[in-house]
Amino acid sequence: MAFIWNKLNKFNSLQIFQFLRFGTFFLISILLAKIAVLYQHEYGLRLISQYENLMLVSSSLTFFWVASICNTLIPYYNNSDEETKKKVLFNTFFLLLVFSAAAAIVVSFMGYIEGKNANLFQMFGLVVLLNTPTYITDYIFYLNGKYKSLIIWGIVTFFAQLVLLCLPLYFKQSLNLAINLLLVLALIKFNYTIILLMKYATITVQTSITADFMKKVMPIMFSILLAGSMEYINSYIIEFNFTEEEFAMFRYGARELPIFLILANSLSSVYSGEIAKLNQDGNLNEGLAKLRKSSQKLMRWLFPSTIILMFLSPFLFKYAYNDQLLEGYKIFNIYLLLIISRMIYPQTVIMGIMKNRIFYLISSNYLVIHCLLSFWFIYLFGMKGIAYATVISYLIEKIMLAIYCKMQGIDFKKFTPWLEHLVYSILTVVAYYITTIIQFPIS
């Protein structure tokens, strides 16, 4: 254990923490599937559908501003002087709190629309209000070099989340009780966040800093809103066009393996800060070279892992979930193709050089392309068409961002090992095609 602690740094600590976060969500999905089978008559797929619907509504209201604020915080913090850094932390918390309050109101209002689940949505609205601002705690630890504290914080809070949600359901208690317990956890986390802010931040709302920070946030928020909203739009399309069981199957299949997403996103977050710092010192090429080298190392094991997982996914779905969700592996395999786009990082370069306004234009084009492909492909390929549209449109977005980098004098080859990426991409597509023609012995 001491060896692991000593190896923690600014590059791997955030990746480990994100793995804990997404790994917890992934494990919760497995446990809920097992609980649904254990108490099939009382719960069944309705339990999964109810929980996924709750998560769909709340996350669709929060994902874009949480991600944009957190992604902007690292490069903005690294570009600030020591006194400003302390003010930035509290002003970021203040922004998260304001947005959380707005999201909580909408979630509660959705309860009245749902009718029978009104109490459930209202309680979860309080969870959103108290829990979402505590995201700043992760970055307080990270930006102050408290990497051990970051990991301990993640282990304790995510384990508590898993237990408080799944244990009551295992003992045949209501989902309302589980949400109430999550509310208690959120309150504890919120109070601890306030204590940390009193130690590491200057407790003052400074409008000039908030306004300048939001100028950097807004283009990224717009980009993530348009790009990420398609995930939720896709789910709503499935919900209204297919059965409740098919909706649950799609939600379980339409997700990337957490560790892949974590490593890619964490690398992007860390190196946007590195590029910002080096660019400020006139060493942009050094930052690009570091990004290229790190992304090359990452793709050398993520691409092979993706190919292996494509062949194992039918068996993983069979034994991790249940027979009703088994066909979700076909959706999951399509989403694994997103690794091709994930391993290209023009957005990291753009955030590092603070040219965020281009996200407005490119994200608008992405949304139009994705919508057109989604409505076209759903008639050609059924449910799988939504997944195909996601993969293709996301790749087009990355190509447009890379073209913009070229327009800024930053060649694609400077931050991407393009030939190696191309070879891996072809192998991954070929592997996917093979999985579509193989009859897996899983029945």
The residue extents of the domains of the chain are: 1-205, 219-443
Distance spanning both ends of the chain, measured CA to CA: 42
The encoded tokens of residue 418 equal 């393009």
Predicted pLDDT of residue 440:
66
Contact 43, 323 (CB under 8 A): no
CA nearest 213: which of 72, 82, 355, 71? Answer: 72
Query: What is the C-alpha to C-alpha distance for residues 289 and 214, in angstroms, rounded to an integer?
Result: 29
Predicted pLDDT of residue 62:
86
Predicted pLDDT of residue 265:
77
CA nearest 394: which of 374, 421, 373, 366? Answer: 366
pLDDT tens, residue order, the chain (443 aa): 554 566 777 777 877 888 788 778 878 877 887 777 666 545 556 676 677 777 877 887 887 888 888 888 887 887 777 888 889 999 999 999 999 999 999 888 877 776 667 778 888 889 999 999 999 999 999 888 888 999 999 999 999 999 998 888 888 777 788 889 999 999 999 999 999 999 999 888 888 888 988 988 888 787 777 766 666 677 667 767 666 666 666 766 666 665 677 678 778 877 887 888 888 777 888 889 999 998 999 899 899 999 998 898 888 777 766 666 667 778 888 889 999 999 999 999 998 887 878 887 888 888 888 888 888 888 888 888 888 988 999 899 999 999 999 999 899 999 999 999 999 999 999 999 998 888 766 55
Instruction: Please indicate, yes or no, whether the overall pTM of this predicted structure exceeds 0.75.
Output: no
Instruction: Tell me which residue has tokens 């970055």.
Output: 139
Predicted pLDDT of residue 91:
93
Predicted pLDDT of residue 35:
77
Residues 6 or more apart whose CB falls under 8 angstroms from that of 4 comprise none
Query: What is the C-alpha to C-alpha distance for residues 164 and 155, in angstroms, rounded to an integer?
Result: 14
Predicted pLDDT of residue 441:
60
Q: Give CA 270 to chain center in angstroms.
A: 15
Residues 6 or more apart whose CB falls under 8 angstroms from that of 309 comprise 257, 316, 336
User: How many CB atoms are closer than 10 A to CB 336?
Assistant: 24
Predicted pLDDT of residue 29:
77
DSSP state of 400: H
Give me the count of residues in the chain: 443
Predicted pLDDT of residue 64:
82
Contact 190, 130 (CB under 8 A): yes
Predicted pLDDT of residue 395:
93
Predicted pLDDT of residue 422:
96
The encoded tokens of residue 49 equal 């559908």
CA nearest 371: which of 224, 240, 231? Answer: 231
Using DSSP, state whether 43 is helix, strand or coil: coil
Query: What is the C-alpha to C-alpha distance for residues 371 and 364, in angstroms, rounded to an integer?
Result: 11
